[in-house]
Amino acid sequence: MAERGFPEAEFHRRRDALQGEMARHGLDALLLTSAADVFYVTGFLTRFWESPARPWFVVVPGTGDPVAVIPSIGAALMGQTWLSDIRCWDAPFPGDDGVSLLADALAGLVPEGGEIGVPMGLETQLRMPLADYADVAARIAPRRFVDGTAAVQRVREIKSEAEIDRIRAACGVADRAFARVGEYAAAGVPLERVFRDFQRVLLEEGADWVAYTAGGAGPGGYGDVISPAGSRPLQAGDVLMLDTGAVRDGYFCDFDRNWAIGPADDTAKRAYGALYAATGAVLRDLRPGMLARDVHGQFIRELAARGTVPGGGRLGHGLGITLTEWPSFTAHDTTVLRAGMVLTLEPGVEIAPGVIQVHEENIVLRADGAELLSARAPEALPELT
């Protein structure tokens, strides 16, 4: 298992990288509000984000260290991070829930007329009340909020070796858990019991928590990949898929595995074989400098060449502090792939109307190509009997 947490040097590197991108984009500060961005800059790790009651703010100035503006309930935990400037209010406080404290912090850190980057683009959300955001914007004028998405994403998308180690550890948890599915999944077992046992085993194998599980099961394939489990028992002829975002030390894995319940039919086996081969081709050819849409294109070609109908939607994405990160392997994403990106390869095929099969592996892109972080799926569809 990788060591817990990060040395302070890791956070200095992140600060410096963000400030470099900020300078390139003409930003005088960044205002960060999401669990992922705050964790990235500070190391502040808690499941308390599950409570929508309170906003949390970190300001990264153009030079110098980040400043946390947070509810008092987080003072002790934030006090254990590398940050020294931590400003608190007793939230939730109707009428001024951190608004004046945040506005004062921004006014003190950003020159008049300065621009403050806020992630506003694709795959971002502002995690604070919208009315309070407008209020802060009015208070800090003539300073302005502008889109800071690119500055954050160009930095976060390149993982350090320490981050890659964490994601590899999370993948190892899932590898070990997937190897044990035969202990509890079999014909006659309701899918909801399989989901519950899968989460239990992920914890036993070292997950700190299980932020995401999904899956499906049905004759030859399943209907979608985001549904919660129902009470239908597994049946001979089903293909079962389990997918997970298990978290270890604040980092996710995100990959799935498929099994046939009893002997698989030829259609399911062919779909599996095509997905395995298409993944192999991308694993072989992926290089820095390609665009995200190139990966999508290769998947579509490889799957079609094997006589299968490629699935719609994105066929993989970034991964790390959240279950999914940019870029997206769609026909439209022109993000340049670079060494240090951690990515999922997630091709899918449609076997029949409303019946799909999806594979997924996690990799880190190196200068010379893809390095697997998940153990490679079996070459042929495994059977549970």
Sites for its own copies among residues 20-49 (CB under 8 A): 34, 36, 45-48
Q: x/- string (CB under 8 A) for its own copies, residues 148-187?
A: ----------------------------------------
Q: Is 346 in the site for its own copies (CB under 8 A)?
A: no
* 281/290 with CB nearer its own copies: 290
* 157/281 with CB nearer its own copies: 157
User: Which one of residues 2, 17, 77, 150 is an interface residue with its own copies (CB under 8 A)?
Assistant: 77
Cis peptide before 92 (omega within 30 of 0): yes
Least distance between its own copies and beta carbon 272 (Å): 21
Structure tokens at 251: 């980092």
Q: x/- string (CB under 8 A) for its own copies, residues 252-281?
A: ------------------------------
Structure tokens at 31: 């205002």
User: Which one of residues 157, 208, 256, 302 is an interface residue with its own copies (CB under 8 A)?
Assistant: 208
User: Which one of residues 19, 42, 81, 199 is an interface residue with its own copies (CB under 8 A)?
Assistant: 199
Q: In sequence order, which residues have a C-beta less than 8 Å from that of residue 371 and are 6 or more positions away?
A: 363, 364, 365
Structure tokens at 32: 């960060």
Structure tokens at 142: 């003539």
Least distance between its own copies and beta carbon 263 (Å): 27
Least distance between its own copies and beta carbon 129 (Å): 5
Task: Please count the residues of this chain forming the interface with its own copies, following the rule CB under 8 A.
Answer: 78
How many residues are given for the chain? 385
Q: Is 112 in the site for its own copies (CB under 8 A)?
A: no
| Nearest-angstrom CA–CA distance, 34 and 45 | 12
Q: Are strands 342-345 and 355-358 parallel, antiparallel or unpaired?
A: unpaired
For residue 55, which of 135, 112, 141 has the smallest C-alpha distance?
A: 135
138 three-class SS: helix
Q: Is 196 in the site for its own copies (CB under 8 A)?
A: yes
Q: Is 118 in the site for its own copies (CB under 8 A)?
A: yes
44 three-class SS: coil
| Nearest-angstrom CA–CA distance, 221 and 105 | 54
